A and B are shown apart, each in its own frame.
Chain A
Amino acid sequence: MHMSDALLSPAIGATFWTGSLAAIAYSAGKLKEQIDEKLIPLMGVLAAFIFAAQMINFIIPGTGSSGHLGGGMMLAIMLGPYAGFIAIASVLIVQSLFFADGGILALGCNIWNIGIYPCFIAYPFIYKIVAGDTNSPKRIFLASVMSVIAGLQLGAVSVVVQTVLSGRSELSLYTFLFFMLPIHLGIGLVEGVVTAGVVNYVRTMRPEVLASAHESKPLSSDRSIKKVLLTFFLITVFIVGVLSWFASKNPDGLEWSLEQMYGKSELSEQDSRVSRALNRFQEKTAIFPDYRVKKGNEKIPGNRDTATDATWPQAESDTTVSGLAGAFMVLCLIFALGFGIKKLKRRKNA
């Protein structure tokens, strides 16, 4: 469920980076105001703990396959939303650097999808209200499972929306949602049970831990189960709204709306600039007068519509073959360079 660089467009990546950075800055500010000094090492080691815990597999009952922990909701419950969010974001950064889970541009989306929803929606509006101030293991169980599922569903919708908006994948919104939501319902159920188990275990062993996370947050107290249902309702309305907004447009409509959002389509603009530059280059190197680069606005043989033409650089079957040869040449050159540097270095060291 980690978003990946390769599926993203720069605009979507940058948008969610901005959002995530803002959330980090906001949480850091909140923590600075009201932090218990003890929390600083605790946040750090608990994030490391989640990391280690993710590496142990457990058997998913009834399936025989194995799964591992995500841990976002667990951190939110144990540390409260602000510290929890900071801790999740730090785990995701380490994952993206050491395991290249997703990549660096997608990190903004991942912090958003995996951090924001559990900490700032599922925790205050579902977990806190359902669990209440009682110590009943049953309510904690219910609250954990509900909030984990809600967090993961929102995250999944988010991944789908980001992918579709980026336009690198051909999957349509509906098909993609149809894949993602049921899978994440299953994952959420298992993760919810595990989260509930661990929370209840810690509560019996060290009740003061959970108490401190609860006290520090002035979010709750006068909320009721009704409000949870209202939240659920609102989330549903949100999802349905997003769906219908998309449904009202065909795929071309999507491209159109993207253009509206980010100004003129960056791609076609880029293309024309490229060709203009190439033309200039060509004029200067007039030794090869027969060479011409196909521009995007020249119709490609075949029945592609104009919307895809805009994203289409030069392409014609005979230039393709030589293009392949050129690409191969460039790759060889690059690798030869790398090899040369290594050799040179080795000789220097010897």
Chain B
Amino acid sequence: MLGRIRSLAVSQEKIVLLIAVVLFVGFSVFLKGFLSSGNLVTLVRGVAILGILGVGMAIVVIGRGIDLTIVAIYAMSAAWTLQLASLGVSIPAALALGFLLALAAGVINGVLIAYLEIPALFCTLGMASLVYGFVHYALVPLQVVYLPASLNAISWIGGGFVFGAPTPILFFALISFLGFVFLRFTKPGRFIYAIGDNVLAARISGAPVRPIIVLQYGLSASIAYLAGMITATAVSSMNTNVTNSSLVADVILVVVLGGVGLSGGRGGVRNVIVGTLLIGILLNGMTIMNIEYTLQNVIRSLILLAAIVIDSIVNPRDEQTAQQGDI
């Protein structure tokens, strides 16, 4: 039985990959301009941020958590960095303070979840509202913050090119690689899988469960800050309203679609990349087909719905280790 589930879990990733390939081939044949190198770069670049956030989310999801704060941290910490820089704070100090804000939010998440044992879903949902509200109330009064001239020195982060490739794509590649190495080859990475698989067994085996959970959320917050700075420097502004958008659902979408089981312990960075590419191809194709944005949203949501239905069939919830109130 277990073997069958395993093989199915593998096949979900393959199915998604297959769909991506079919769509890619289909769009290449039927959509004019889809296969041009310029469009392909646009395609990947368009979802690079989603992919980076997806890696952060995947680290948490593999440890049987979820981080709904990720988009709030992404938007608000970057916005504060821009705000600080425009107030005349030096670049390193602005970057450091923004990063500390993100890290603090992540660590608070981790502590509340690991030590106070608040369910991750509720904790990060409440923290998203708290982070957004706090930064707006106390630090960044405006909805949209523009990149001040003083930060032009770091505009290469999101707007530069290396060997013709836009830096967001390179950052996506770098984060994916680092995430892969962390999850696959480091001790904390293996502990995350153990915790995601069976938290009680991990605790009994001596894994430092609580510090590792704090680490998960700290990492996802750090990655969110990086993604935020890439976005801010790429489009020369940060719109904090993105916190209230469906971006967080999209991040979950790429993670789940790729085959990272929401019940934890399964999947890896490769799944995130596959999920991200599928979404990228879809969005790009729909844009070329001139489908209006709101309808694209409906289609994306339907795909996400289908993805979690499939996820629950392929990775059924373990009734033995499921907790009462684990919703």
Q: Is B one of A's binding partners?
A: no
Interface residues of B (CB under 8 A from A): none
